Structure 1
Amino acid sequence: MRVVVIAAPAKRKGIPDYVTALAKGMEAMGHRVDVLDAWTGDAYRVPAYEYIAVVAESLTVFGGKMPEALHRVLSAGTLVGKKSAAFLKKTGPFTDKALTNLMRGMEKEGMYINWSDIILSAAHAQELGKRIGA
């Protein structure tokens, strides 16, 4: 399966290690995986993938606001009915609220979310990646 992992870190600092670990876990299951940085990536390519995994970080500890770059990527093409997963890096006590906000933003674009989880570390992300398609 062709999978894109969209990384939306809170700041423009490149692809975090837990995102590459998630992609490696997915590749271990035999999937063809591309990693797209939401801050610099080509959003027009996203609809071409069979499965979309969004990995984000909350901008605020209490509000659960998502990075603006993520909204730009998700609204760039038609994603209605695309199977997807929502992952959020644990950053504080209100991570559940931030994950809910992420999922609402994805569902607003018409995406079908069949999996969501909170990433605790890079090793945890790699184990999560091995569960896709299993």
Structure 2
Amino acid sequence: MRAAVVFYRDKKNPQELEQLAKGVLRGLQSQKGVTVDLISLEPGMETRLSGYGYLALGVPRGTLLKGKLPGNFKELLSSCGHLVGKKAFAFVPSKLIGSQKTLSNLMAAMEKEGIFLRFSEILTDAKHAEEVGAKLQVD
């Protein structure tokens, strides 16, 4: 199965989420029969996710209390092609405050696009991300 690890590139801290995404990628690659691509979702880029059977999608933590999703994330997601029925995993980086609300908002945005969420997690570091990625049920 083809899978994509997609992350929204944050201008404030671009390395943090990318390291988590690479951890999830390594975990998914350890599963038999799974081909995985790493995709950076950025404003102005046209990204098609229709060809993937499984999506792992991450965003940076939003504002402290509201957990607001970054910039035009919802519009970017809706322009990524036909996503209805895609199986998915949602993740955000661990922070003291705001991670849970951001994760809830991410899951709501994904479900609005018709994505079938199978799992979600607040990831602490790349090692944790890799462990979670290895356990995801892709099929």
- Does the alignment reach a TM-score above 0.5? yes
- Which consecutive unaligned segments of at least 5 residues does structure 1 have? none
How many residues align? The count is 133
Give the Cα separation in 2 of the matches to 1:26 and 1:92: 27
Of 7-16 and 75-84, more deviation after overlay is shown by 7-16
Secondary structure of 2:22's aligned partner: helix
Q: For the Cα contact (< 8 Å) 2:61–2:98, is it kept in 1?
A: no
Q: For the Cα contact (< 8 Å) 2:91–2:120, is it kept in 1?
A: yes
Judged with a 3 Å threshold, the aligned counterparts in structure 2 of structure 1 residues 32 and 42 are, in CA distance, closer, same or farther, namely: farther
Q: 1:24 aligns with which of 26, 49, 73?
A: 26
Q: Identity over aligned residues, as a percent?
A: 32
For 1:5, the equivalent position in structure 2 comes to 5
Q: 2:38 aligns with which of 35, 53, 78?
A: 35
1:64-108: CA deviation from partner (whole Å, max 9, x where unpaired): 011235323310122111111111111232311111101001011
User: What is the TM-score normalised by the length of structure 2?
Assistant: 0.86
Give the Cα separation in 2 of the matches to 1:36 and 1:42: 11
- Which consecutive unaligned segments of at least 5 residues does structure 2 have? none
RMSD value, Cα? 1.9
